[in-house]
């Protein structure tokens, strides 16, 4: 029996009995407290075309921002609150934030307005500096973010590394990176000086290593897989499911750039088999009036998977127990 299956079984028993479990190499489970998940999209109560950002709050209060992108209105966004950790799956502008909204509900769900340019620093760095948060990334991204923090007058040691197969605990949350299959070039627009000009003239980007996904283990025992932009990978079964035992998945479904709805459903149904899934990166105005629009990729994914699908409606906070079950504000 794999570590992931053993961990899921023990956590489930502990959660139902209100017990504390610890074991060789297994996550600790308290069985109490809920992980809160709040999507921060461009339009209140909707799942829109470039929505990426989510805030995860551990039962102990640690707050983690994942892929701030373009739909967080900077560090002063009233929806943001305190942020302790910032995660970045890869360096594309729609994830790190080359520009951003000025306020929510500007423009349409299918074409939001992003009038604030955040180059060369990025929305991610601006938020991390203002919140005094730690940026945790894999590959060669930490050095890039350290330089950006230092340029902003912040402590560059707040950019920290966690590589595949390793882990780092921040604020009581265990964080690791896992492989993603995608590109990870840094646009010259994030750079300054002659190198930026040379790259721009050549039509190429700088490399900061491969992109990543994340596995987060929260203090109530909940294990969450954040896919990042990726295709289907063997690690989704061997690492994410079999080793870590992910119970909740945030899965990109947008097609062309990432897994499409059919491929993403295969990952959920056949490889990871979590307790629940939140679709992400749909690249479409997926909802209207808070309801999924039929004929969309989001509807196709919802109809294809075998587990509960929780639509990430902006500003709506869902709560999950240690078993990966949504227990509050659920579809």
Please spell the DSSP secondary structure of 6-61, one letter per residue: HHHHHHHHHHHHT--EEETTEEEE-S---EEEEE--SSTT---TT---EEEE-TTS
In a domain, 23, yes or no: no
Asked whether the predicted pLDDT for residue 247 surpasses 70, the reply is yes
Contact 64, 74 (CB under 8 A): no
pLDDT (tens digit, 9 = 90+) per residue, 147-188?
A: 999 999 999 999 999 999 999 999 999 999 999 999 999 999
Q: Which domain holds residue 129?
A: 35-328
Predicted TM-score (pTM) of this structure: 0.90
| Class of residue 164 by CB neighbours under 10 A (exposed 0-12, middle 13-18, buried 19+) | middle
Determine which of 92-96, 204-208, 285-289 has the lowest per-residue pLDDT on average.
204-208
Q: Among 8-12, 85-89, 249-253, 309-313, which is the least confidently predicted range?
A: 8-12
Give the domain CATH number at 93: 3.60.15.10
Q: Are 173 and 124 in contact (CB under 8 A)?
A: no
Tell me if 193 is assigned to some domain: yes
With respect to residue 160, please indicate whether it lies within any of the assigned structural domains.
yes
Total domains in the fold of the chain: 1
In a domain, 18, yes or no: no
Is 58 within the bounds of a domain?
A: yes
Task: Decide if 309 contacts 301 (C-beta within 8 A).
Answer: yes
| Domain contains 119 | yes
Distance CA 274, CA 278 (A): 11
């Amino acid at each position: 029996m794999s570590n992931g299956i053993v961990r899921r079984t023990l956590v489930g028993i502990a959660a139902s009995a209100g017990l504390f479990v610890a074991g060789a190499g297994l996550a600790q489970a308290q069985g109490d407290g809920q992980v809160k998940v709040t999507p921060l999209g461009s339009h209140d109560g909707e799942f829109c075309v470039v929505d990426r950002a989510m805030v995860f709050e551990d039962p102990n209060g640690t707050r983690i921002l994942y892929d701030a992108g373009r739909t967080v209105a900077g560090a002063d966004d009233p929806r943001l609150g305190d942020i302790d950790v910032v995660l970045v799956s890869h360096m594309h502008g729609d994830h790190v934030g080359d520009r951003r909204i000025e306020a929510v509900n500007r423009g349409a769900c299918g074409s939001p307005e992003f009038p604030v340019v955040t180059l060369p620093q990025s929305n991610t760095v601006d938020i991390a500096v203002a919140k005094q948060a730690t940026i945790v990334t894999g590959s060669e991204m930490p050095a890039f973010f350290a330089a950006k923090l230092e340029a902003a007058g912040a402590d560059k040691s707040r950019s920290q590394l966690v590589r595949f197969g390793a882990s780092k605990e921040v604020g009581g949350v265990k964080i690791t990176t896992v492989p993603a299959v995608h590109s990870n070039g840094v646009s010259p627009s994030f750079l300054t000086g002659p190198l930026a000009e040379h790259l721009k003239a050549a039509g190429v980007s700088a490399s900061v290593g491969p992109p990543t996904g994340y596995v987060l283990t929260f203090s109530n025992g909940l294990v969450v897989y954040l896919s990042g932009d990726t295709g289907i990978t063997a690690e989704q079964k061997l690492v994410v499911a079999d080793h870590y035992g992910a119970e909740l998945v945030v899965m990109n479904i947008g097609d062309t750039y990432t897994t499409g709805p059919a491929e993403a459903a295969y990952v959920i149904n056949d490889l990871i088999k979590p307790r629940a899934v939140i679709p992400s990166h749909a690249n479409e105005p997926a909802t209207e009036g808070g309801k999924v629009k039929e004929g969309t990729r989001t509807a196709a994914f919802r109809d294809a998977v075998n587990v509960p699908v929780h639509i990430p409606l902006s500003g709506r906070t869902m709560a999950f127990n240690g078993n990966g079950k949504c227990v509050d504000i659920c579809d």
